Amino acid sequence: MKNKQLIECVPNISEGNDLTKIHEIANIVTTIKGVKLLNIDIGKAANRTVITFIGEPKNVIDAAFLLIKKASELIDMSIQKGTHPRFGATDVCPLIPIANISMEETVQFAHKLGEKVGKELGISGYYYEFAALENQKKNLASIRAGEYEGLKEKITNPNWQLDFGPKNYNEKIKKAGITAISARNFLIAYNLNLNTTSIFIANKIAATIRESGSLLKNDLGESVRIPGKLASVKAIGWFLEDFGIAQVSSNLTNYNINSMHQVFYEATKIATELGAKITGSELIGLVPLKAMIDAADFFLALENKSTEISEMEKVTIAIQKLGLNDVKPFHPKERIIEYVI
């Protein structure tokens, strides 16, 4: 047991409204022995659900295969709409090494999953991040550019040929779209809530904090990229219809470099400059305990207070300072990965 290999799988499906479909898709992973379903995070406005489960590699691959199959049967991408970028019924299916397994081994399992999905289900897709076969396909935003609506044109481009499954546009792609499969490090999906409905302000904050920054025209009319403030942070702005507010939606691809508290702190300063306010934040899926402890330590140090307090006190402080209860309740035992496992 001590040396058991564990990987986490976090498929994102393009359905956030039909609870019957969502639970049928998510719960199918529990039919595989040894797989534990950890979390189902439903986003209505985004029309997207993030599902988290964990287990030994072969079991996780079998469970992910069944989930992708079920999602392709129940979700029709030709009529799907939502605020979150997407191009498939199972939009992404990342594998994350958790215990006693290397990233290189996890990549091999990602490729096995893609091959199985392509051959047995006829579903096409790309590999990204550590599983990418080409450098240009490492970045999810790049391979998803154009989204579902642009697939017919994109996959005919020699630079964007599909990595697994049928290579030509077909009826399966028309209905289920395609799937992006990866091996990656733990990612924190973290959204900041604004006291405004302005997507302009949300996008301005996102462009200022994200690593890629923004493109601006210089005096010669040339496009020049202005880097953002925070490395390993991706961000976009959108309007969240569920709560009637604008949000900055961010992905923290390496929380050891920049985590929730840095994003919250920097975004708060920028929002103030723009005449807006960050009212709180929202976590999508699960978060490592370390990220919560780091946030508490940061805010305690900022206020010149002692960090010599209990773990649960620090978790409580992190929830309060980040405003994680702002739009919906945050329950530590359901959202912190170490507590869930």
Structure tokens at 340: 């869930």
Task: Name the residue type at position 60.
Answer: V
**Is the alpha carbon torsion for 233, 147, 67, 94 positive or negative?**
negative
Specify whether the CB–CB gap between 293 and 299 falls below 8 A: no
The dihedrals phi and psi of 53, each to the nearest 5 degrees, come to -145, 165
Query: What's the order of all strands across the beta sheet hosting 278-284?
Result: 233-240, 245-252, 188-194, 278-284
Structure tokens at 201: 């302000």
Written as one string, the DSSP assignment of 112-132 is HHHHHIIIII---EEEEETT-
Q: How far apart, in whole angstroms, are the C-alpha atoms of residue 247 and residue 56?
A: 36
In 122-246, alpha helices (H): 140-144, 151-154, 171-176, 199-209
3-state secondary structure of 159: helix
111 an active-site residue?
no
Catalytic residue, chosen from 23, 84, 111, 331, is 84
End-to-end, the C-alpha distance of the chain in Å comes to 14
Residue whose pair of structure tokens reads 């490090």 in the numeric block = 185
Q: How far apart, in whole angstroms, are the C-alpha atoms of residue 52 and residue 233?
A: 21
Specify whether the CB–CB gap between 8 and 95 falls below 8 A: yes
Residue whose pair of structure tokens reads 């470099």 in the numeric block = 257
The angle subtended at Cα 327 by Cα 95 and Cα 301, nearest 5°, is 80
Specify whether the CB–CB gap between 328 and 302 falls below 8 A: no
Specify whether the CB–CB gap between 117 and 164 falls below 8 A: yes
Catalytic residues: 84
